[in-house]
């Protein structure tokens, strides 16, 4: 045994060795103790905690890994919290779904067993389903909570556990912290009830699918346009994930007749064999779909991540395809929604959209011009869901999204929804095509009207315990020594969401930020640039979001202005030492 290992880590591992854990787990711990001390540290140096996406980690043995026992403990803590919160409810109920990842069904069944062993009714989906359908099912079945087993777009080694409240939104404060507090009260694995009560577990499937798809179809704003453009060729890839269950059906319901699925990626497979990473943000993930689109002369490519809550798109541009980033797709979708709501006479002055603080400011500009209220929230779609909940029955949510490829239209789901987004993006594409335009031409029109906004995300990966410490030090350094100027433009405002203070560096004025505390810093410059810095809540990385803006006088000037904006971002990165 390596003497340099923190004794607390060894002590925690020995609790597992002495406790009521299975022999396979104990043998794996002994192997780490004898031969792999670094892995022992990574497996036990902390307990998995809820971040912006819930519980997420590498699958394996230990308190810092996704396994039967960490999933069981999280479920027991959540079960205890539900019973504390709904003491007069005759039958507390939850819904459970899972994605296509390795062990996802296994973890979903363990979760169902622990809930049912605690006397909680469980609605368990029969097979893999999109994360947003879980959010919908909670609301449709009047559940008090829900769980989806997924690690979203993380590499194949990961799995995760997203917890939801009775509104269909992911847990937010105080519920997220309180659930963790309940989990931390579990002193022994013997406190977890693993023996399920099968009488309390009900399998659900098609009946929920049908209601969900019907509600999605009712969101359509231009059915007559789709009738005229029904033969638009669309290539769709679920990237080996859950989107295959509902996205093609929803597109068909909308009236699209030419939906071509990428066959080799239509197979649900937790090893994601055809991609390096099943992340629609990464161009490589769309390569096979784009190749197929070129072969059949398609117009639009749609790609959803493994749990089908995010979507990436590529649009035809001559003989090639252009990949849209999350801010561009959000811009096109929100522009379409606002335009059609106005044309259809649906704007009454009581509507709103929501975006996250790191998403393009162009959405706010469009909302203002259309006299639609908008709200900024912290990163994480659960905060968008919270705004929708806050105004339920008072104001109407049109739509919203975040730069990380997550969008929502309508309020019957309370999480980002790629089934809805694919359907509405395809409709927006048909609407633009019907006007004899392309999506890129529309985007240039928007930039001419509102200004050319350009964004870039840079992620700095720092893995493990030492990496987490390095990320925290980077944030501390930015707070102690913030940049005075970026790309030659003076920093005029700093927003620190951890101290909830927005400081105007010119006047010295300080304004309170009315959002939950979060480890995020934002720097705003005199020329309108915005830089946001935050450690990821779900991955071992620190993220830098850059947003810059210039006027676009004509479509012909697009390329030159685009290069100038790229140069500005490069200069800001140099100033930050990236």
Using H for helix, E for strand and C for coil, what is the string for 297-345? Answer: CCCEEEEECCCCCCEEEEEEECCEEEEECHHHHHHHHHHHHHHHHHHCC
Give residue 187's pLDDT.
83
Q: What are the two backbone dihedrals, phi and then psi, of residue 270, each rounded to the nearest 5 degrees?
A: -70, -10
Q: Which two tokens stand for residue 302?
A: 């749609």
Q: Which two tokens stand for residue 275?
A: 């991609």
Residues 186-225: tens digit of each pLDDT: 889 999 999 999 999 999 999 999 999 999 999 999 999 9
Residues 117-153: tens digit of each pLDDT: 999 999 999 999 999 999 999 999 999 999 999 998 8
Q: Can 23 be counted among the known catalytic residues?
A: no
Residues 484-543: tens digit of each pLDDT: 999 999 999 999 999 999 999 999 999 999 999 999 999 999 998 999 999 986 678 999
Expressed in angstroms, the distance from the first to the final Cα of the chain is: 39
Q: What is the CA radius of gyration of the chain?
A: 24
The yes-or-no verdict on residue 380 having pLDDT over 90 is no
The residue among 5 and 315 whose pLDDT is bigger is 315
Residue keyed to tokens 């319901």: 253
Q: Where are the alpha helices (DSSP H) in 452-496?
A: 464-480
The β-bridge partners of 315 are 300, 322
Give residue 309's pLDDT.
97
**Of the candidates 124, 144, 150, which has an alpha carbon nearest to the alpha carbon of residue 54?**
150
| CATH 3.40.120.10 domain range(s) in the chain | 46-204, 212-436
> What CATH number was assigned to the domain covering residues 212-436?
3.40.120.10
d(CA 428, CA 246): 19
What percentage of the chain reaches a pLDDT higher than 90?
89
Q: Which CATH superfamily is domain 46-204 in?
A: Alpha-D-Glucose-1,6-Bisphosphate, subunit A, domain 3 (3.40.120.10)
Q: How far is CA 82 from CA 79, 90, 203, 386, in A?
A: 5, 12, 21, 19
Give residue 176's pLDDT.
86
Q: 227 in helix, strand or coil?
A: helix
User: For residues 421 and 295, is the Cβ–Cβ distance under 8 A?
Assistant: no
The yes-or-no verdict on residue 551 having pLDDT over 80 is yes
Give residue 101's pLDDT.
98
Beta-strand ranges (E) seen in 373-467 are: 373-377, 396-402, 406-409, 452-461
The yes-or-no verdict on residue 361 having pLDDT over 90 is yes
Active-site hit among 43, 152, 222, 250 = 152
Q: Which two tokens stand for residue 50?
A: 């809820």
| CATH 3.30.310 domain range(s) in the chain | 452-575
> What CATH number was assigned to the domain covering residues 452-575?
3.30.310
Q: 378 in helix, strand or coil?
A: coil
Chain mean pLDDT for the chain: 95
Give residue 50's pLDDT.
62
Residue 83 zone, left/alpha/beta (φ > 0; ψ -120 to 50; rest): alpha
The yes-or-no verdict on residue 410 having pLDDT over 90 is yes
The answer, yes or no, to whether the previous bond of 174 is cis (omega within 30 of 0) is yes
Class of residue 548 by CB neighbours under 10 A (exposed 0-12, middle 13-18, buried 19+): buried
């Amino acid at each position: 045994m390596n003497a340099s290992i923190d004794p607390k880590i060894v002590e925690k591992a020995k609790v597992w060795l002495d406790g009521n854990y299975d022999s396979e787990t104990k043998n794996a711990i002994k192997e780490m103790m004898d031969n792999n001390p670094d892995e022992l540290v990574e497996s036990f140096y902390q307990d998995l905690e809820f971040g912006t996406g819930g519980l997420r980690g590498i699958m394996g043995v230990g308190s810092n890994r996704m396994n039967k026992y960490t999933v069981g403990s999280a479920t027991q803590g959540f079960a205890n919290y539900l019973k504390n919160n709904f003491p007069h409810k005759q039958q507390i109920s939850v819904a459970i779904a899972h994605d296509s990842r390795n062990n996802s069904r296994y973890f979903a069944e363990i979760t169902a067993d622990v809930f049912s062993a605690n006397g909680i009714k469980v609605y368990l989906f029969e097979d893999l389903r999109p994360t947003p359908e879980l959010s919908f099912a909670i609301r449709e079945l009047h559940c008090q909570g829900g769980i989806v087993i997924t690690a979203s777009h993380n590499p194949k080694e990961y799995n995760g556990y997203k917890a939801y409240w009775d509104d269909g939104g992911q847990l937010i404060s105080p519920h997220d912290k309180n659930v963790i507090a309940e989990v931390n009260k579990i002193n022994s694995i013997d406190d977890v009830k693993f023996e399920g009560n099968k009488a309390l577990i009900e399998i659900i499937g098609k009946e929920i699918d049908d209601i969900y798809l019907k509600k999605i179809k009712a969101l359509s704003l231009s059915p007559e346009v789709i009738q005229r453009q029904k033969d638009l060729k669309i290539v769709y890839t679920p990237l080996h994930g859950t989107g295959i269950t509902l996205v093609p059906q929803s597109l068909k319901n909308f009236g699209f007749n030419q939906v071509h699925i990428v066959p080799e990626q239509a197979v649900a497979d937790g090893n994601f064999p055809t991609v390096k990473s099943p992340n629609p943000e990464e161009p490589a993930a769309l390569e096979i779909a784009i190749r197929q689109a070129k072969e059949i002369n398609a117009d639009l490519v749609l790609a959803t991540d493994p749990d089908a809550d995010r979507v990436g798109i590529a649009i035809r541009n001559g003989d090639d395809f252009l990949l849209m980033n999350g801010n561009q797709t959000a811009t096109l979708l929100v522009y379409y929604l606002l335009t059609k709501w106005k044309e259809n006479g649906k704007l009454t002055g009581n509507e709103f959209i929501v975006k996250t603080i790191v998403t393009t400011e162009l959405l706010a500009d469009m909302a203002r011009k259309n006299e639609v209220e908008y709200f900024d929230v912290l990163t994480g779609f659960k905060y968008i869901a919270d705004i929708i909940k806050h105004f339920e029955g008072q104001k109407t949510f049109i739509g919203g999204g975040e730069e990380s490829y997550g969008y929502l239209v309508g309020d019957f789901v309370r999480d980002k929804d790629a089934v809805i987004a694919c359907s509405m993006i395809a409709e927006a594409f048909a609407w633009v095509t019907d006007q004899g335009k392309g999506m890129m031409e529309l985007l240039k029109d928007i930039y001419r009207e509102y200004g050319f906004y350009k964004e870039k995300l840079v992620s700095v990966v720092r893995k493990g315990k030492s990496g987490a410490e390095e990320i925290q030090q980077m944030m501390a350094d930015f707070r102690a020594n913030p940049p005075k100027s970026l790309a030659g433009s003076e920093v005029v405002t700093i927003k620190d969401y951890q101290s909830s203070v927005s400081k105007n560096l010119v006047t010295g004025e300080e304004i309170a930020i009315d959002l939950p505390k979060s480890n995020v810093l934002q720097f705003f410059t005199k020329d309108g640039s915005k830089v946001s810095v935050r450690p990821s809540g779900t991955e071992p990385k620190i993220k830098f979001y850059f947003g810059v803006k210039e006027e676009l006088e004509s479509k012909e000037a697009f390329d030159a202005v685009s290069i100038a904006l790229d140069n500005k971002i490069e200069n800001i990165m140099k100033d930050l030492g990236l």
